[in-house]
Structure 1
Amino acid sequence: MSLSDADHELVVAELGREPTTAEAALFENLWSEHCAYRSSRPLLSAFDSESPDVVVGPGDDAAVVAVSDDTYVTLGIESHNHPSYVDPYDGAATGVGGIVRDTLSMGAYPIALADSLYFGDFSEEHSRYLFEGVVEGIADYGNAIGVPTVTGSVDFHSDYEGNPLVNVACVGLLPAERLVTAEAQNAENKLVLVGNGTGRDGLGGASFASEDLAEDAETEDRPAVQVGDPYTEKLLIEANEDLVDAGLVQSARDLGAAGLGGASSELVAKGGFGAEIDLDAVHQREPNMNAMEILLAESQERMCYEVRPEDVEAVEEIAEKYDLGCSVIGEVAEGNYVCTFDGEVAVDVPAEYLADGAPMNDLDAVDPDQPERDLPRVDLSEAFEAVVGSPTTASKRWVYRQYDHEVGLRTAVKPGDDAAVMAIREAEKGLAFSSGANPKWTSAAPYDGARAVALENAINLAAKGATPLAAVDCLNGGNPEKPEVYGGFKGIVDGLADMCRDLSTPVVGGNVSLYNDSVTGPIPPTPTLAVVGTKDGYDAPPAAFSGEGTLLLVGTGGGALGGSEYLAHAGGSDKFPELPKNPAEVVAELAAVANDETTLAVHDVSHGGLAVSLAEMVTENAGADVTVDGALSLFDETPGRAVVETTDPERVRETFDGAAPVLELGEATDDGTLSLSVGEEQLVYTAEEIRVMRDVIARELD
Structure 2
Amino acid sequence: MMSQHKISPEQIEKKKIYKEMGLTDEEYQMAKDLLKRRPNYTETGIFSAMWSEHCSYKSSKPLLRRFPTKGSQVLQGPGEGAGVVDIGDNQAVVFKIESHNSPSYVEPFEGAATGVGGILRDVFSMGAKPIAAMNSLRFGNLDNDHTKMLFSEVVRGISSYGNVVEVPTVGGEIQFDNQYEENPLVNAMVVGLVSHDDMQKGVAAGVGNVVIYAGGDTGKDGVGGATFSSDVVEADEENKSAVAIGNPEIGKKLMEACLEVIHSDALVGMQDMGAAGLTSSASEMAAKAGTGIELNLDLVPLREEGMSAYEIMLSESQERMLLVAKKGREQEIVDIFAKHDVDAAVIGEVIEEKTFRIKQHGEVVADIPVNILADEAPVYHLPAKEASYYQEFQAMENEVPAVDNHQEMLRKLLQQPTIASKEWAYKQYSSEAQGNTLVGPGSDAAVVKIEGTEKAIAITTDCNSRYIYLNPKVGGQIAVAEAARNLVCSGAKPLAITDGLNYGNPNDPGVFWQMEQSIDGISEACLALNTPVISGNVSMYNQSKDEPILPTPIIGMVGLIEDTKYVTPSHFQNDGDLIYLIGEALPEFGGSELQNIVAGKYTGKAPVIDLEVEAKRQSLLTSAIREGLVVSAHDLSEGGLGVALAESLFTGKGLGAEVNVSGDPTVALFSESQSRFLVTVKPENKEAFEKMYAEAVQIGTVTNDGSLKVSVDGKQIIDDAVAELHKLWSEAIPNFVAKQ
Normalization by structure 2: what TM-score? 0.92
- 1:321 Cα shift? 1.6
Give 3-state SS (helix, strand or coil) of 1:448's partner.
helix
1:142-541 aligned at under 5 Å gives the runs 142-214=162-234, 217-335=235-353, 336-368=355-387, 369-370=390-391, 371=393, 372-373=396-397, 374-379=399-404, 380-539=406-565, 540-541=567-568
8 Å contact from structure 2 (residues 67, 533) kept in 1: yes
1:653 to 690, 693, 697: 690
Paired letter, 2:403: V
- 1:303 Cα shift? 0.2
Q: Which residue of 1 aligns with 2:720?
A: 685
Q: 2: CA distance between counterparts of 1:502 and 1:248?
A: 43
Give 3-state SS (helix, strand or coil) of 1:531's partner.
strand
Q: 1: CA distance between counterparts of 2:268 and 2:681?
A: 53
- 1:246 Cα shift? 2.6
8 Å contact from structure 2 (residues 501, 554) kept in 1: yes
Q: 2: CA distance between counterparts of 1:466 and 1:385?
A: 32
Which has the higher mean CA deviation after the structures are superposed, 519-528 or 28-37? 519-528
The reply to whether residue 597 of structure 1 matches residue 633 of structure 2 is no
- 1:248 Cα shift? 3.3
Paired letter, 2:148: R
Give 3-state SS (helix, strand or coil) of 2:620's partner.
helix
Give 3-state SS (helix, strand or coil) of 1:328's partner.
strand
- 1:122 Cα shift? 1.4
Which has the higher mean CA deviation after the structures are superposed, 221-230 or 492-501? 492-501
Normalization by structure 1: what TM-score? 0.97
Q: 1: CA distance between counterparts of 2:632 and 2:39?
A: 64
Paired letter, 1:337: F
Q: 1: CA distance between counterparts of 2:510 and 2:457?
A: 39
- Give the paired residue count: 697
Q: 2: CA distance between counterparts of 1:108 and 1:169?
A: 14
Q: 1: CA distance between counterparts of 2:279 and 2:586?
A: 50
Paired letter, 1:342: H
8 Å contact from structure 1 (residues 274, 332) kept in 2: yes
Q: Which residue of 2 aligns with 1:639?
A: 674
Q: Deviations over 1:89-133 (max 9, x none)?
A: 100000000000001111111000110000011111111111110
8 Å contact from structure 2 (residues 107, 243) kept in 1: yes
8 Å contact from structure 1 (residues 602, 645) kept in 2: yes
8 Å contact from structure 1 (residues 213, 519) kept in 2: no
8 Å contact from structure 1 (residues 120, 160) kept in 2: yes
- 1:267 Cα shift? 0.8
Q: 1: CA distance between counterparts of 2:419 and 2:229?
A: 30
The reply to whether residue 697 of structure 1 matches residue 716 of structure 2 is no
Give 3-state SS (helix, strand or coil) of 2:459's partner.
strand
- 1:567 Cα shift? 0.5
**Cα pair distance change 1:247/1:623, threshold 3 Å:** farther
2:591 to 525, 549, 563: 563
Runs of 5+ in structure 1 lacking a partner?
Answer: none
Q: 1: CA distance between counterparts of 2:233 and 2:217?
A: 29
- 1:39 Cα shift? 1.1
- 1:208 Cα shift? 0.6
8 Å contact from structure 1 (residues 193, 303) kept in 2: yes
8 Å contact from structure 2 (residues 711, 717) kept in 1: yes
Q: Which residue of 1 aligns with 2:12?
A: none
1:51-90 aligned at under 5 Å gives the runs 51-90=71-110
Q: Deviations over 1:434-487 (max 9, x none)?
A: 112112221222111111110000000000111111111011100010111111
Paired letter, 2:372: Y
Q: Deviations over 1:274-295 (max 9, x none)?
A: 1111011100111110000000
- 1:558 Cα shift? 4.7
1:613-632 aligned at under 5 Å gives the runs 613-618=644-649, 619-620=651-652, 621-629=654-662, 630-632=665-667
Which has the higher mean CA deviation after the structures are superposed, 195-204 or 480-489? 480-489
Paired letter, 1:288: G
Q: 1: CA distance between counterparts of 2:586 and 2:290?
A: 51
The reply to whether residue 665 of structure 1 matches residue 685 of structure 2 is no
Which has the higher mean CA deviation after the structures are superposed, 266-275 or 567-576? 567-576
8 Å contact from structure 2 (residues 709, 716) kept in 1: no
Q: Which residue of 2 aligns with 1:11?
A: 31
Runs of 5+ in structure 2 lacking a partner?
Answer: 1-20
Give 3-state SS (helix, strand or coil) of 1:340's partner.
strand
- 1:527 Cα shift? 0.9
Q: Deviations over 1:166-195 (max 9, x none)?
A: 011111111111111112221111110000
Q: 2: CA distance between counterparts of 1:481 and 1:649?
A: 56
- 1:596 Cα shift? 3.7
Give 3-state SS (helix, strand or coil) of 1:246's partner.
coil
8 Å contact from structure 2 (residues 214, 345) kept in 1: yes
Paired letter, 1:365: A
Which has the higher mean CA deviation after the structures are superposed, 372-381 or 452-461? 372-381
- 1:426 Cα shift? 4.5
**Percentage of pairs with the same residue:** 39
Q: 2: CA distance between counterparts of 1:558 and 1:53?
A: 36
**Cα pair distance change 1:518/1:204, threshold 3 Å:** farther
The reply to whether residue 606 of structure 1 matches residue 625 of structure 2 is no
- 1:52 Cα shift? 1.1
Give 3-state SS (helix, strand or coil) of 1:55's partner.
strand
8 Å contact from structure 1 (residues 77, 99) kept in 2: yes
Q: 1: CA distance between counterparts of 2:147 and 2:644?
A: 26
8 Å contact from structure 1 (residues 594, 602) kept in 2: no
